[in-house]
Amino acid sequence: MAPKKYQTHHGMHDLLPEELSKWQKLESVIHEVAKRHHFQEIRTPILEPTELIARGIGQLTDIVSKEMFSFERGDDHYVLRPEGTAPVARAYVQHNLHQKGGSQKLYYMGPFFRAERPQKGRQRQFHQFGAELIGSPDPMADIEIISFMMEIYDAIGLTDTSLKLNSVGNPESRKNYKQALQDHFRPHLHNMSEVSQHRFETNPMRILDSKEKEDQEFIEGAPIMTDYLTPESQAHFDKVRRYLDQLNIPYELDSRLVRGLDYYTETAFELISDQIGSQDALGGGGRYDLLIEEVGGPATPAVGFACGIERLFLAAESANIEFDAASPLDVYIVTRGDNAREWALSNLETFRQNNLRTTMNFDGKSMKAQMKDADRHSARFCIIVGDDELNADQFTLRNMADSAEQQLTFDQLIKAITSDR
């Protein structure tokens, strides 16, 4: 019996070379925009303590209650990180970054894991880029975060998006609002979905997030968070709106916007695309002024965002945005005979030192097969080498675009290729 073939897990994907050229391009845009905004990169482990994630994101959220990939080893409880904010908060506390003085501006990208039901735009392993500005309560920090996020989409030409904005207030605002929501839903509870009945007790704000049909009519008439903001929360929100206007960043107020993570306070936002199906959030974020303290640090206000990379590519594809194609090969060395192969092996470095992308054939194929291989890799030039060429220091340089051939010495050959760029 032939050995079994294996497949990736459901909702997890290989990224093959053809696809990765656009990932690399996007990553370089993210690094570039981060530099312009003076954010510094942080990389945290893929595995985090389960308790950190449960505490940070909230025990009752979907992510923690249903979607964690977790396991135990000895006394340690590990979870594959489902998001980046709690890990960055942990790192901030663990390394006493507050002692560095001033706010910390950190950004990251990488794989994240949630055991959700896979569909278009929703994987179990997905990738995010994100940023966290830790240490400032100022609404201007919210703007720095939102403008960082928007600039990445601008830089790749993805402008057909909408920014939804809301405030979830401070704890006092939320307490008042929860009360108002419970008063509103209580008389209708028996007609509402089971999930919402459960959320009524645990977190009535999440009822607003419900996609269940039977809940919609009651959600429509529900009170609005921003009517319950304390004067401080209202002032913060007003400033965020005013600064967004000043920076000409368009947004829409969305009083129903509640995010799926429990740590938010004050500003909450999402960037939406109507081109990518039902999973339409390209990214989201907001303020989380209590999280750092919650995970053992000093009381420290913070704000951040994260965006899904796969969803960005879905939106880019529907907007026909081209990312640079894979970089072509400059030189393919076609060899005849063993001496030529050895010569090629020891001279690859000379080409590469001249900044030429160069390869040879590593499976000892015929010359014809090597020419075909060169074609397949879109080589700009082939160099044909055999014993005669080596003895005479005269090589055939073939321009693959027009098949023109020249006889050149080794030095001339390098010059000809480098000057043809």
- Interface residues with ligand HAM (CB under 6 A) are 83-85, 114, 116, 121-123, 126, 128, 130, 132, 260-261, 281-286, 288, 304-308, 310-311
| Nearby residues of 68 by Cβ (< 8 Å), 6 or more positions away | 50, 53, 79, 80, 82, 114, 115
Q: How far is the CB of 111 from ligand HAM (least distance, A)?
A: 11
Q: How far is the CB of 49 from ligand HAM (least distance, A)?
A: 17
- Cα distance from N-terminal residue to C-terminal residue, the chain: 53
Q: How far is the CB of 259 from ligand HAM (least distance, A)?
A: 6
Under a CB-based contact definition with an 8 Å cutoff, are residues 381 and 330 in contact? yes
Q: How far is the CB of 263 from ligand HAM (least distance, A)?
A: 8
Q: How far is the CB of 363 from ligand HAM (least distance, A)?
A: 39
Nearer to ligand HAM (CB atom), residue 254 or residue 377: 254
Nearer to ligand HAM (CB atom), residue 290 or residue 382: 290
**Rounded Cα–Cα distance for residues 200 and 226 (Å):** 20
Burial letters for 281-319: b for 16+ Cβ neighbours within 10 Å, e otherwise?
bbbbbbbbbbbbebbebeebbbbbbbbbbbbbbbbbeee
Residue whose entry in the numeric block shows the structure tokens 């278009």? 120
Nearer to ligand HAM (CB atom), residue 19 or residue 405: 19
Residue count of the chain: 421
Nearer to ligand HAM (CB atom), residue 128 or residue 335: 128
Nearer to ligand HAM (CB atom), residue 177 or residue 288: 288
Q: How far is the CB of 391 from ligand HAM (least distance, A)?
A: 60
Take residue 408 and report the two structure tokens written for it.
């050149």
Strands (E), 260-388: 265-272, 281-287, 302-308, 331-335, 358-360, 381-385
Nearer to ligand HAM (CB atom), residue 144 or residue 373: 144
Closest CA to 271 of 259, 288, 260, 285: 285
**Rounded Cα–Cα distance for residues 215 and 211 (Å):** 8
Q: How far is the CB of 145 from ligand HAM (least distance, A)?
A: 8
Q: How far is the CB of 23 from ligand HAM (least distance, A)?
A: 14
| Nearby residues of 377 by Cβ (< 8 Å), 6 or more positions away | 328, 329, 332, 359
Nearer to ligand HAM (CB atom), residue 127 or residue 398: 127
Nearer to ligand HAM (CB atom), residue 58 or residue 130: 130
Nearer to ligand HAM (CB atom), residue 185 or residue 288: 288
Q: How far is the CB of 21 from ligand HAM (least distance, A)?
A: 21
Q: 81: how many CB neighbours lie within 10 A of its CB?
A: 24
Q: What is the crossing angle of helices 338-353 and 410-418, to 10°? A: 40
Q: What is the crossing angle of helices 17-36 and 309-318, to 10°? A: 100
